Amino acid sequence: MGKVFAVLVTLITLISIAFFVMHTWWLPPNISTTGKAVDHQLEETLIGTGVLFLAGQLMLGCFAWMASGKTKDTRAKRFPGGATSVVVTAIVVVGIEIFTLTFVGSKAWGAIYLTPAEPGALRVDVQAEQFAFYFRYPGPDGQFGGLHPDKIDDGSGNYFGLDPANDVAARDDIVVGSLVVPVNRPIALSLHSKDVGHSFYVRELRMQEDFVPGLDIPLHFTATQVGKYEIVCTQLCGLGHYNMKAYLEVMSEPDYEQWLKTQAGQ
C-alpha cells in the first residue's frame, strides 16, 4: 500500500513539474519595461519552490515506501537529528528562500508601484464601469474636462459625465473604447470607477491594479512592442464581469499621431 502511494506521488510530482518545465502553458511575452523584473522573479520562485516541491513530495513518497517494508525494531531508525534538525532545516532553507525572494521581489514591485511616472508621460484617464472600460485623452487643449456624475448618460455616449455646455476644457476631450498608446513612451494612467470595483489587467504588461470607487489610482507603464493586447477585468463586478474587456493598441509614434488626429476630428 505504501509502495503504491510512493509510486503515485512520484508520478504526480514528476508530471506536474514536467508541464512547468516544458512551458506547455506559459505567460505571453512581456512588453513592458518593468515586466522583465517580474519574469525574473517568477523564474527565481519557480526554481526555488520547484526544488522544495520535488524534495517534499519525494521525501514523503520514499518514507512511505520504507514504512511499508519489513522493519523489525521500531525504535531502531529515528529521523537523523530528530526534531531539532527538522526545525533548523525548515528555518534555514525557507528563511533563505524568503530573504532572497523579498529582497529581489520588492525591487520589481517598487519599479511598478512605488516610482512615480516620468513628468513627460502621456496622461490617459481610465474609467471602468459595468461592463466596459472607457479611455479619455485631454484633446488638443491638453486639458481634461471636469467630471460630473449627475451628467453621466450612456445613451448619448457621455460615459464620463462631461459638461461641454459649461466646461470648455471638456469639449475637445477624446473618449474611446480602447487604450491607444505610442510605443516606448511612458504612459500615466489615472484609474477611477463609475460604479463598483473593477480591475485593470494586461498580461503582457505584467500589471494588475484595482479600480476603487471614490479613488483615483495612478498606474504607469511603458510599452516596448507594437501590437494589440487585451485589457480584462479581474475584480468581480457583476453579471457582465466575464465580458468586461478592452484592447490596448500600441502604435508607432506616427500612427499614433494619425489616430489622434482622426479622433479629434470626430
Partner 1 sequence: MHEVSTHPVAHQHTAPTGFIRKYVFSLDHKVIGKQYYGLALVSVFIGMVLSWLLRIHLAYPDYHIPFLSKLSAVGAPGGVMTPEYYLSLLTMHGTLMVFFVLTNAPFAAFGNYFLPIQIGAEDMAFPRFNMMSFWTTFAAFVVMMASFFVADGPPISGWTAYAPLSAVGRDAGPGLALGQDLWAISIAIFCIASLLGALNFIATTLDLRARGMSLLRMPYSTWAWFVTSVIALLAFAVLLPACVLLILDRVAGTSFFIPAGLVLSDKLQPHSGGSPLLWQHLFWFFGHPEVYIAILPSIGIIATILPVFTRRPLLGPKALIGSMVAIGFLSYMVWGHHMFVSGMNPFSANIFSVPTLIITIPATIMTLLLTASLYGAKMRFDTPALFCLGFISVFISGGISGFYLAQPSLDTYLHATYFVVAHFHFVMAVASLFGVFAGTYFWFPKMFGRMMSESLGKWHFWLTFLGVYCVFMPMHYLGLVGNVRRYSAFVDDYLAPLIPVHRFITIAALLTGAAQLIFLWNLIWSRFRGPVASENPWEATSLEWATTSPPPFDNFGGKHPVVYHGPNELGVDGPDGTDFLMQTAAPKSS
Partner 2 sequence: MNRKLLCLLPAAAVIFYAVKAGAGAPIPPPAGGTISGKVTYTGTPPKMKPIDMSKEPTCAKQHTTPVMTENVTTGPDSSLQYVVVYISEGDPGGAASTETVRYDQRGCQYLPHVLPMQAGQVLQIFNDDQTSHNIHPLAKVNPEWNKSQPAGSLPIDTKYDKPEFIPVKCNIHPWMHGYFVVLNTSHYAVTGPDGSFSLKGLPAGKYTVTAWQEQYGTQTQEVTIGSTETKTANFTFKALPY
Partner 3 sequence: MGVDVQDAIHAGQKLGGSGLPPVTRNTRLPKVALSERPERSETGVWIGIFAIVMTFAALTSAMIVREGVALDWQHFQLPKILYLDTVILFFSSWTLETALSKLKEGENRFSAGMTWLAVTLALGGMFVIGQVVAWRVLAGQGLFLATNPSSSFFYVFTAAHALHLVGGILGLGYLIYKLNRTRSAARTTGIRATSLYWHFMDGLWVYLFVLLLARM
Q: How far is the CB of 79 from partner 3 (least distance, A)?
A: 7
Give residues with Cβ within 8 angstroms of 101, minimum separation 6.
Answer: 41, 44, 45, 48
Residues 200-259 interacting with partner 1 (rule: CB under 8 A): 201, 203, 206-215, 217, 230, 232-243, 245
- The verdict on 229 binding partner 2 (CB under 8 A) reads no
> Strands, E, within the chain: which ranges?
122-129, 132-137, 174-176, 179-182, 186-193, 198-202, 207-211, 217-222, 227-232, 245-251
What is the size of the binding site for partner 1 (CB under 8 A)?
105
Residues 59-88 interacting with partner 3 (rule: CB under 8 A): 75, 78-79, 82-83
Q: Which helix (H) or strand (E) holds 62?
A: helix 35-67
- The verdict on 27 binding partner 1 (CB under 8 A) reads yes
Which amino acid is residue 255, in one-letter code? Answer: D
Helix/strand/coil for 33: coil
**Phi, psi of 70, deg, nearest 5:** -90, 95
Q: CA 108, CA 35: separation in Å to the nearest integer? A: 8
Among 101, 111, 176, 183, binds partner 2 (CB under 8 A): 176
Q: How far is the CB of 47 from partner 3 (least distance, A)?
A: 32
Residues 70-99 interacting with partner 2 (rule: CB under 8 A): none
- The verdict on 146 binding partner 1 (CB under 8 A) reads no
Binding site residues, partner 2, CB under 8 A:
129-133, 153-157, 159, 164-165, 175-178, 238-240, 243-247, 266
